[in-house]
Structure 1
Amino acid sequence: MPTLVHHPLDPASRLIRLMCAEYGVPLDVEEIKPWLREPHLLDLNPAATLPILVTDEDVPVIGILASIHVVEDIYTLETVGGLVPTHPLDRAEMWRLVEWMLVKLNDEVTRYLVEEKIAKRDLKGATPEPSVLRAAKANLAEHMLYFNWLLASRKWLAGDEMTLADFALAAHLSTLDYMGDIDWSKAAETRDWYSRLKSRPAFRTLLNDRVVAMPPSKGYADLDF
């Protein structure tokens, strides 16, 4: 059984958890706080980043892109359709949006909010910086407008079929929703799409996540939110 070294609110780790759950792959999890840079983590990955997927052969696969490809190449069942389209242009649009989540959305929104609200709780004397929170939330509002625009004309994020892009966005939005940073009243199209994803069995483990001394926002685990 593969093991995922993760943090519950790390969106990249959440993406791998969603993929494995969607494909019916049993997954052990080992929780770690990457910002503490513990020796065990640095031994596995000197960059101190997550996720780290340890395969059945006890080989650590480092980082989100490598982990995505290993899950697709090794753990996708032949009887289950994968999350990567077969048509090259459909696949290109999916990867464009996956990159948007992994790079742009993460660097402009999610990373800052996790650092300010979660990581700083482990740093003595550190408190969230209001200006950083305001900037991240302003950026989030712009991203949500774009997602609403896409989903107003598409059944799924990258087109007519559910793909890895949907799971990548859901991983980030679920983290942000846990922390109470999304105003769903201003995101009707994205909310409807997210409700469909939350209803999938693959989402159950994420909706059961809890961070010590930080309960989720109201409606986080509700399918009708």
Structure 2
Amino acid sequence: MPSLVHHPLDPASRLIRLMCAEYGVPLDLDEIKPWLRDEALLEVNPAATLPILFTDTEQPVVGILATLHTVEDLYTPDTVSGLVPADPMARAEMWRLVEWALVKLNDEVTRYLVEEKIAKRDLRGATPEPSVLRAAKANFVEHMLYFNYLLASRNWVAGEELSLADFALAAHFSTLDYMGDIDWSKAPGETRDWYSRIKSRPAFRTLLNDRVTAMPPSKGYADLDF
């Protein structure tokens, strides 16, 4: 059985967990706090980033890009469609929006909120910086407007079929939702409907059961009707 070194609120790790769950691949989960830069983590990945996937080979698969490609290459079942479109143009749009979630959304929103709300809890005397939280939340409003613009004319984020772009975005949304940083009562309708649909997929159940020590999820996090 493959195993994944992860943190429950790391969006990149959540993306790999969603992929594996969608493909019916069981995972052993090994939780770690990458910001503590544990020596064992640094031996495998000097960058101290997640996720790290261990398969039946001796070589660990390190980082989000290597890991998602490995999962797609090794574990896509024959009985269902993969999450990567066969059409080149559809695939290009999917990768554009995967990059948007993994890079732009992460760098402008998710990373700051996780650092301020989660990582700082392990630093003596550190407290969240209100100006950073405000900036990240303001940035998220702009991202939500763009996603809603896309979803107003598409069934899924990158087109008419579910793809890796949906899971990449949902991984970030679920992290933010856990921390209470999405006000669904004010969220644009198309984006809320999209998240409700993807949240209802069986693959999502593994994330909805997550709990972080001394930080319960926001109200409605695990509810399918929110």
1:185 aligned counterpart, secondary structure = coil
Q: Which residue of 1 aligns with 2:75?
A: 75
Measured after TM superposition, the shift of residue 64 of structure 1 is 0.3
The normalised TM-score by structure 2 is: 0.98
In structure 2, what is the equivalent of residue 98 of structure 1? 98
**Cα distance in 2 for residues equivalent to 1:218 and 1:189:** 21
* CA offset digits 1:118-154 (Å, max 9, x no partner): 0000000000000000000000010001111111111
Partner of 2:162: 162
Runs (4+) of structure 1 exceeding 3 A deviation are none
Measured after TM superposition, the shift of residue 114 of structure 1 is 0.1
Summarize the alignment of residues 4-153 of structure 1 with structure 2, pairs less than 5 Å apart.
4-153=4-153
Cα distance in 2 for partners of 1:191, 1:60 equals: 37
State the Cα distance separating 1:78 from its structure 2 match: 1.5
**Offset of residue 185 of structure 1:** 2.1
Show CA shifts across 1:46-77 (max 9, x none): 00000001112242100000001000000111
What is aligned with 1:210? 211
Partners of 2:94 and 2:177 in 1: CA distance: 23
Partners of 2:225 and 2:59 lie apart in 1 by 40
In structure 2, give the amino acid aligned to 1:142: E
Report the residue type matching 2:148 in the other structure: N
Q: Tell me the equivalent position of 1:200.
A: 201
- Distance, in Å, in 2 between the alignment partners of 1:48 and 1:183 is 32
CA RMSD of aligned residues (A): 0.6
**Number of paired residues?**
225
Partner of 1:182: 182
Counterpart code for 1:22? E
Which segments of 5 or more consecutive residues in structure 1 lack a partner in the other structure?
Answer: none
Structure 1 residues 196-205 or 54-63, which shifts more? 54-63
What is the letter of the counterpart of residue 191 of structure 2? T
Instruction: Give 1:173's aligned residue.
Output: 173
How far apart are the structure 2 equivalents of 1:183 and 1:147?
15
- In structure 2, C-alpha distance between the alignment counterparts of 1:121 and 1:189, rounded to whole Å: 35
CA distance in 1 between partners of 2:201 and 2:82 (Å)? 15
For residue 125 of structure 1, give the secondary structure of its aligned residue in structure 2: coil
Q: Distance in 2 between matches of 1:164 and 1:56?
A: 24
Query: Structure 1 CA distance, aligned partners of 2:143 and 2:130?
Result: 20
Residue 207 of structure 1, CA deviation = 0.1
In structure 2, C-alpha distance between the alignment counterparts of 1:108 and 1:58, rounded to whole Å? 36
Matched residue SS, 1:42: helix
